[in-house]
Amino acid sequence: MQPAILAEGIGKGFRTGLWNPVKPVLRQVDLTVAPGAIFGVLGPNGAGKTTLISILATLLLPDRGRAQVLGMDVVRQASALKGRINLAASGSHFLWCMTVADSLRFYGRLYGLGGRALNHKVERLLDLFGLAEHRAVTFERLSTGLKQRLSLAKALINDPELLFLDEPTSGLDQDMAHQIRGEILRLNRETGVTMLLTTHNLREAEMLCTEVAFLKDGQLISEGRIPDLQRRLGLGDHLSLIFPDSPAPLDYHRLPGVLHYTVQETRVDLVLDRVDERLPLLLEAVYGTGTKPVKVVVKPVDLEEIYHEITR
């Protein structure tokens, strides 16, 4: 199957002043995104995430390398590609004096929509994003959350096959961020639209993304499905067994999936490759020693650990 995004050796730099040398922002970035995926590009501020997304979204020309989005070259076939993609970004701004409905109509027309088709699409998006009651409110009077919802609604005006989401929940409160994440997952599930998402919020990536790539100083340092990355880095889920007294001796190393363990008085801390699969067998072995833990604490590996391991 043809990848939704295929980038090879992408490089980009910017000159900060007329006499200053070009400062590289992206260096030799290769990226492959499968159709229908929610792919996360992670990295700290200044890592080059927005530059990468902008190149793939035809808003910026790369200095080196080539990229295909939906099978089309982002430089040579940009005009045709633009109709099949869209972008929602954090802190998106639209014209201050246009209402919510005006803004959606304006962007709808930019994609060639008109008449009944446009009205129908605008109404559908207003309903979908809970904006119907705010349809006549001008952009400058909208709350941050409503602005972000409008940004997402606008991004769907052309039924894109690929959606770029640049820090989609940045600056939102917890509730609103949660709602927006829900919308993103629902869209992906219901429409199958491929999404490329940039974020520096690891928890968000964990919740949304099927695959992630880590950018650091303009270079892609690791890429893959989260469990694969976990395995590749030798990182595991944490499991703590708390006993009423000192636990009976047991060679935990011999149990399948145990990466390492420590015993401290009444507590055994283990790292397992996949806690959900290994836990029943491990507990069976523990019970076999004649002692029962009073508390079992599971803490799955998170992206933060992966990120720190990778960027170490």
Partner 1 sequence: MKLRVNLNKIWSFSVRSALVTRRNVFALFEMLFWPLIGIFSVGLLTRFLNLEGETVAFILIGAVTMNTVQIAQLDLAYALLYSVWSKSLKHEFIAPVRLSHILVGSGLVGLVRGLVVFVIMGGLSVCFFDMDLGRAGLAGLSLFLLGLFLNAAIIGALVLALVLRFGQRAEVAAWAFSYLMLLLCGLYYPVSVLPGGVQFVAQLIPLTYFLDYFRHFYGFPPVSRHPLLYGFGQTVVYLFISYGLVCLTLKSAYRRGTLLRLSD
List of residues contacting partner 1 (CB under 8 A): 14, 50-51, 54, 57-61, 79-80, 82-83, 85-87, 89, 92-98, 102, 105-114, 118, 138-139, 154, 158
Please say which residue, 79 or 264, places its beta carbon nearer to partner 1.
Answer: 79
End-to-end CA gap in the chain? 35
Q: Is the distance from CB of 195 to CB of 38 less than 8 angstroms?
A: yes
- The span from the CA of 153 to the CA of 102, in Å, is 13
Q: Is the distance from CB of 149 to CB of 131 less than 8 angstroms?
A: yes
Nearest distance, CB of residue 94 and partner 1, angstroms? 5
Which amino acid, one-letter code, is at 4? A
Tell me the CB-side half-sphere exposure of residue 209, using CA atoms within 13 A. 28
Nearest distance, CB of residue 298 and partner 1, angstroms? 42
- The span from the CA of 238 to the CA of 94, in Å, is 46
Nearest distance, CB of residue 55 and partner 1, angstroms? 10
- The span from the CA of 285 to the CA of 3, in Å, is 45
Q: What is the largest CA-CA distance in the chain?
A: 76
Please say which residue, 10 or 212, places its beta carbon nearer to partner 1.
Answer: 10
Please say which residue, 107 or 243, places its beta carbon nearer to partner 1.
Answer: 107
Please say which residue, 44 or 227, places its beta carbon nearer to partner 1.
Answer: 44
Please say which residue, 119 or 291, places its beta carbon nearer to partner 1.
Answer: 119
Nearest distance, CB of residue 54 and partner 1, angstroms? 6
Nearest distance, CB of residue 202 and partner 1, angstroms? 24
Burial of 19 per CB tally in 10 Å (0-12, 13-18, 19+): exposed
Please say which residue, 125 or 275, places its beta carbon nearer to partner 1.
Answer: 125
The residue whose two tokens read 């007294």 is 245
* Residue of 197, 191, 232 whose CA lies nearest to 211: 197
Nearest distance, CB of residue 156 and partner 1, angstroms? 13
Lookup: tokens for 308: 């720190």
Please say which residue, 126 or 258, places its beta carbon nearer to partner 1.
Answer: 126
Tell me the CB-side half-sphere exposure of residue 195, using CA atoms within 13 A. 31
Q: Is the distance from CB of 188 to CB of 165 less than 8 angstroms?
A: no
Nearest distance, CB of residue 30 and partner 1, angstroms? 21
Nearest distance, CB of residue 50 and partner 1, angstroms? 7
- The span from the CA of 168 to the CA of 152, in Å, is 9
Please say which residue, 154 or 278, places its beta carbon nearer to partner 1.
Answer: 154
